[in-house]
Structure 1
Amino acid sequence: MPEKNVMLAPAFNICRMPLCGRTYEYYSEDPYLNSQLAIQSVKGIQSQHVAACIKHFAANNQELDRDSVNTIVDERALQEIYFPAFKAAVQQGNAYTVMSAYNKLNGYWCSENGYLLNKVLKGDWGFKGVVMSDWAGTHHTVAAANNGLDIEMGSSGPYDQWYLAKPLLAAVKAGEVSVKTIDDKVGRILWLMYHTSMSTNHPKGAIATPEHTKAAYDIASESIVLLKNDKQLLPLKTSEIKRIAVIGDNAVRTFALGGYGAGVKAKQEVTALEGIKSRFGKTADIRFAQSYRASYLASKTAEQNGDYNEPDQDLINEAVALAKSSDVAILCIGSNREYESEAHDRKSLELPFGEQALVNAVSAVNPNTVIVVMAGAPFDLNEIKKSNHAIVWSWFNGSEAGNALADVLKGTINPSGKLPFTFPASLNDSPAFNLNTYPGDNLTAEYKEGILVGYRWYDTKNIVPLFPFGYGLSYTDFSISKLSTDKSSYKKDETIHAKFTIKNTGERSGAEVVQLYVNDPVCSVQRPEKELKAFKKVFLKAGEKRR
């Protein structure tokens, strides 16, 4: 069986606006958090002698018109917001390959953008590896060859006719592309082969081992975010619960595959219903109601998908009857991998499939309704936040998703996840929409917000979000005190060392993600109200403290 030596991941474009169809796949709106995650992802992939392909370079922040839009981004925003994770993945992660984005950046296609590929990536950052195009993302022969593209991928028609096939040979013979340029590309491809297919001591592969299952479970359980728990409904008190209603199509849906791109052929995936049955089934009677039809396919047109947002009253009535006769209703809503997909953006922040009507109906008959949202991007939860006591954000959480969720609901796991991007209270609060820069005029999207992306915008403009970046509750409480730095003043390029004491002041063991932000009050240019510069997850037993 032939080996696959390049993994087309990680993708970590900045979450500039909440409707982007690939937010579920990306990491964060913050360049520092993005960088830290990118470095570790690249190192993990390449530890197996497989090349990571970091993508999509650069400023690919929307799916709508992605293969034709020209993004206009100033130098400072590129250097402070859109480049850091790529730079870190190259210089600290030693990424072997980079994929150019579909869009144009400041007037030039990313696959033939000399500033992007030759000056910044290969020049300033010293990237030694291969730049490949996205599939069918190459547009010209000479411009691509001279401006830094090394491999053309996925173009249409016979290979001989591709831009970097026979036309490139002709361009070399005509003197339009130098032999030195070709030598550089060949050297890069050989360097990539040397580190992958030609390398010795390949680690022995393994699929779906118990170790993998444990890793998937640990990651899922630590990533779940508790958004609201004002009546202390969670964790569920098993001794008092005899009947549980599990409601919603997402309770029985899997999320490894769907839509376009980023699918995983998982051997198994534990659904929410399966997890809840395995954790509560011995002590409670568990019943299921589908409650809505998730009738939406990424491959269909808007007309073909029709009125997918319409509530199904018959299904809602069944759910209400079940909720009425149960001690607790666990309502699994959100989106799915068809609704959030590569190649298209969402039209709005509203919950799909008539879910809001379902939530209202079920909550009205059972005050002990726990809302569980499975989604990879922000949604409008304003009404739910006002009217529901417990909200859990559970993501598309991998092959152990159901078990991790059930253990959080039960209290075996104390939730410690934090939001990696801001949930706006309204779409117009988001900078790209507030400044009317999405999807762009005449296929030109000017990033007028500059460096004020994500929480930098909300904090600086004093806009209160629905849920802020870095937010997430716990079943216990933490206090932070005695924050100090090692000196009272610093010279240029000196490192500031900060110390503090964190204490678990509650009655349960748990983890807190401590986040350190800085602000620059005296500066000749505009700076955000605050910027993330460090974070650390600290596990503490009840009553324990640590310096």
Structure 2
Amino acid sequence: MKKNILKVTVGMAFAFSFASCTSQHKQINNSSSDSLLDAPISNLNYEAEIDSLINKLTLEEKSGMLHGNSKFTTAGVERLGIPALTMADGPLGIREEISRDSWEPLGWENDFATFYPAGGAVAATWNPDLAYTFGKSIGEEARDRSKDVLLAPAFNIIRTPLGGRTYEYFTEDPFLNKKLVVPYVIGVQENDVAACIKHYAVNNQETNRGTVDVNVDERTLREIYLPAFKAAVIEGNAYSVMGAYNKFRGDYLNENNYLLNDILKNEWGFEGIVISDWDAVHSTVKALKNGLDVEMGTDGPFEDYYFAKPLIKAVKGGELSEAEVDESVRRVLRVMYNIKSIDSTDRKTGSRNTKEHLEDAYKIASEAIVLLKNNEDLLPLNLEKVSKVAVIGANATRKFGLGGYGAGVKTKTEITPLEALEQKLPQNIEIEYARGYEENYVGQSENNQNHGRGTINELNLDLLEEAKLVAKDSDIVIIFAGSNRDYESEASDRKDLELPFGQVELIKQIKEVNPNTIAVLIAGAPYDLREVNSSVSTLVWSWFNGSEGGNALIDVLTGDVNPSGKLPWTMPKRLEDSPAHATKSFPGDDSVTYKEGILVGYRWFDTKNIAPLYPFGYGLSYTTFNFKNAAVDKSETYSVDDSVVITLDVENSGKRAGKEVVQVYLSKPTSRIERAAKELKGFSKVMVQPGKSEKVTIRIPISEFAFYNVEKQDWEVESGEYLLHIGNSSRNILQTISLRVD
């Protein structure tokens, strides 16, 4: 489609400060970049009760409330009716119960939970409604397990495609992150559970994560790495924040005065608790003074934690005042009153392992799947012309709820792709399975902690020949390849982008014996798919997609669901094309400097004119869409408090109903500062029936045009011309609107 250029003049340049949202949350609306998810301000109605409790607490009791008394709880004070604060890992679902003083599971039979799609999948939906659904659903499960704090969501910016937690984190873009995180947090906390947003902050690599000192300039910090945290605190009213492992500008994050006190508590007005990541505390006096409230997971006996006996000694020795301790105790009590864990009879009880929660997981999974390539229209499957399907690859039968180093979920239900195919295909269609490859790893002694688990990438020739025979004798072949949660794991980054276990060669050889081959990649992070992409005509990307992941995936392949997922990160052709690697600033050693600055992810690729394999925001459909009649609401000058309201028609010119994501990117052709070629500033996901059009409205506050002026220490909108680029990926711009800020 040809680009259409519209021009309109917009009001004066200005500097501004963001204000806290204070109105009650009423509805979810994913069509606006201007959040309608206004959260209530913190409930301060209980300050008198809190004062009374603090006055009755001994110093020892206060200390007990500020450090772990088991792996996932602090101590309560029974004589005053103060309960323990119970926490649970939960990026994928509520973790099984473990021992008080070790990571060993207790082996209970009543601690199963729903397995939800990983963070990358949530982001790939580009749907804030589903982010809210996720939060509400997992919050209900947390309450059913009597948890007070859900240690989620995790949404650090994806700086490198090698990141071990890329599958868990959301996106490479701060705007998309914040628009998904806010409804997620609200959904969780509506269930009287505190969301713990993490990992604050600039925690973008697993390599040397416990020691590395991150250096990033102030503008980059404010524009890229803090916006989603700020939105979660101010708009989502998150009750707790987790301090990360790494250092920032010389100080560990859990004793970093600038990030914890100056920005989080003073500038943003955060009234909740800062909880350390597990075993991420390095001091007593400095940590408490500089903003940490609760210490968790420190190695050694609970009474020897930094906030246990050493804290009591520091107060008695005059290094800390008891008033400083009281401030952290106040924050803990404030959260308890907000989530109704203290002095309340109407706290929500929650539910778990329900049909409704499985439906929630399915909805997210089905909108997360990304159709990357469909050149020969092998999809959706034409089952009337198929009598035999070859299913190849270990990921056809693998489950992803558990695995790797970090939080998983023990679930009763996880449907694999092969199980879903067997349940959903007509009985007259024969299905034959061949594993194709083995998941083999090098010995533990040969592994490098910084580079994940080493893999053996030679194919087993017997398995290969078996797979080729099955493929040759079938009408269509579906290869389920990709990764797993043992390979993509917390605590280590991958050493390269190569698909493990010899899968590239497997896919190429299978395609040679049967041209009707569909490759389905199940993974959480980008891989080098150049050879795979050139070998097959049909390529689908799925995720560690939860209890209903297999059903959602097969429904997409058969056409019961029209794919609508969009990539939440850039898939590069080569690792060295990515900004952290192009600038040779990953992983660093004792310290790492983010040399790419604001040019993270697609900002780098688009600004440097580097072609990715698949761009940020990319994803195909079984139908086709046209964008028409883009316009803005005014031709006159906009005021400081106005928003630019964009309207356009999205036409479905195909034969299937489908969802499309309208994406709006901002650029400034001339600027006195460095800017990215374009930045996401608005999006809307819309369902359109075949042959019909839907009008889409996207509202962008002029404040979103701002950059962070380091000299003024404030946000500023420049004068001059701006362009709003409207498309369905960062690289496929269909219409452009020119604005002028005078």
Q: Same fold (TM over 0.5)?
A: yes
- What SS does the corresponding residue of 2:615 show, helix, strand or coil? coil
Task: Select 2:421's aligned residue among 266, 276, 288.
Answer: 276
Q: Give 2:409's aligned residue.
A: 264
Cα deviation, residue 518, structure 1: 1.1
Task: Select 2:233's aligned residue among 66, 85, 90.
Answer: 90
Q: 1:297 to 1:534 in 2, by over 3 A?
A: farther
Task: Select 1:192's aligned residue among 331, 335, 340.
Answer: 335
- Report 1:129-168 matches (<5 A): 129-168=272-311
Which range moves more in the overlay, 522-531 or 347-356?
A: 522-531
Contact 1:419 1:469 in 2 (8 A): yes
CA displacement, residues 460-504 of structure 1 (integer Å, 9 cap, x when unaligned): 111100100000000000000111112244344431111111110
Task: Select 2:224's aligned residue among 81, 90, 95.
Answer: 81
Task: Select 2:358's aligned residue among 197, 213, 227.
Answer: 213
Residue identity in the other structure for 1:399: S
CA displacement, residues 11-61 of structure 1 (integer Å, 9 cap, x when unaligned): 000001100000000000000110011111111111111111100000010
**Percent identity over the alignment?**
53
- Report 1:283-298 matches (<5 A): 283-296=428-441
In the aligned structure 2, how far is the partner of 1:266 from the partner of 1:512? Answer: 32
Q: 1:138 to 1:369 in 2, by over 3 A?
A: same
In the aligned structure 1, how far is the partner of 2:281 from the partner of 2:168? Answer: 23
Q: Give 1:523's aligned residue.
A: 671
Cα deviation, residue 306, structure 1: 6.0
Q: Does 1:52 align with 2:183?
A: no
- Report 1:6-405 matches (<5 A): 6-196=149-339, 197-198=341-342, 199-296=344-441, 302=447, 307-405=455-553
Residue identity in the other structure for 1:504: N
Structure 1 spans left out of the alignment, 5+ residues: none
Residue identity in the other structure for 1:90: V
Which range moves more in the overlay, 113-122 or 259-268?
A: 259-268
In the aligned structure 1, how far is the partner of 2:427 from the partner of 2:659? Answer: 29
CA displacement, residues 287-316 of structure 1 (integer Å, 9 cap, x when unaligned): 100111113499885289665222111111
Contact 1:259 1:297 in 2 (8 A): no
Q: Give 1:462's aligned residue.
A: 609
- What SS does the corresponding residue of 1:119 show, helix, strand or coil? helix
Which range moves more in the overlay, 212-221 or 105-114?
A: 212-221
Task: Select 1:450's aligned residue among 597, 616, 620.
Answer: 597
Structure 2 spans left out of the alignment, 5+ residues: 1-143, 696-742
- What SS does the corresponding residue of 1:56 show, helix, strand or coil? strand
Cα deviation, residue 350, structure 1: 0.5
- What SS does the corresponding residue of 2:659 show, helix, strand or coil? strand
Q: 1:298 to 1:528 in 2, by over 3 A?
A: farther
Cα deviation, residue 205, structure 1: 2.3
Q: 1:305 to 1:417 in 2, by over 3 A?
A: closer
In the aligned structure 2, how far is the partner of 1:308 from the partner of 1:3? Answer: 43
Q: 1:434 to 1:493 in 2, by over 3 A?
A: farther
- What SS does the corresponding residue of 1:321 show, helix, strand or coil? helix
Q: Give 1:415's aligned residue.
A: 563
Q: 1:312 to 1:513 in 2, by over 3 A?
A: same
Residue identity in the other structure for 2:692: E
In the aligned structure 1, how far is the partner of 2:662 from the partner of 2:281? Answer: 44
Contact 2:566 2:618 in 1 (8 A): yes
CA displacement, residues 158-216 of structure 1 (integer Å, 9 cap, x when unaligned): 22221111211222223222222112111001011112322442223222222112211
Cα deviation, residue 282, structure 1: 1.9
CA displacement, residues 401-435 of structure 1 (integer Å, 9 cap, x when unaligned): 11111111111111000000000110000000000
- What SS does the corresponding residue of 2:643 show, helix, strand or coil? coil
Q: Give 1:436's aligned residue.
A: 584
In the aligned structure 2, how far is the partner of 1:305 from the partner of 1:438? Answer: 19
Contact 1:5 1:50 in 2 (8 A): yes
CA displacement, residues 289-346 of structure 1 (integer Å, 9 cap, x when unaligned): 0111113499885289665222111111100000000000000000001001100111
Cα deviation, residue 144, structure 1: 0.3
TM-score by length of 2: 0.72
Contact 2:441 2:455 in 1 (8 A): no
In the aligned structure 2, how far is the partner of 1:538 from the partner of 1:159? Answer: 52
Contact 2:453 2:487 in 1 (8 A): no
Cα deviation, residue 456, structure 1: 0.7
In the aligned structure 2, how far is the partner of 1:328 from the partner of 1:509? Answer: 25
Q: 1:2 to 1:377 in 2, by over 3 A?
A: closer
Residue identity in the other structure for 2:490: E
Q: Give 1:472's aligned residue.
A: 619
Cα deviation, residue 521, structure 1: 2.2
- What SS does the corresponding residue of 2:469 show, helix, strand or coil? helix
Residue identity in the other structure for 1:292: Y
Figure out how many residues of one structure are paired with residues of the other and give that number.
546
Q: 1:300 to 1:401 in 2, by over 3 A?
A: farther
In the aligned structure 2, how far is the partner of 1:260 from the partner of 1:169? Answer: 34
Residue identity in the other structure for 1:423: M
In the aligned structure 2, how far is the partner of 1:283 from the partner of 1:236? Answer: 15
In the aligned structure 2, how far is the partner of 1:298 from the partner of 1:139? Answer: 33
In the aligned structure 1, how far is the partner of 2:332 from the partner of 2:546? Answer: 34
Contact 1:222 1:416 in 2 (8 A): yes
- What SS does the corresponding residue of 1:220 show, helix, strand or coil? helix
TM-score by length of 1: 0.97
Residue identity in the other structure for 2:556: V
Q: 1:85 to 1:300 in 2, by over 3 A?
A: farther
Contact 1:238 1:283 in 2 (8 A): no
In the aligned structure 2, how far is the partner of 1:478 from the partner of 1:256? Answer: 36
Residue identity in the other structure for 2:563: P
In the aligned structure 2, how far is the partner of 1:262 from the partner of 1:135? Answer: 12
In the aligned structure 1, how far is the partner of 2:674 from the partner of 2:643? Answer: 23
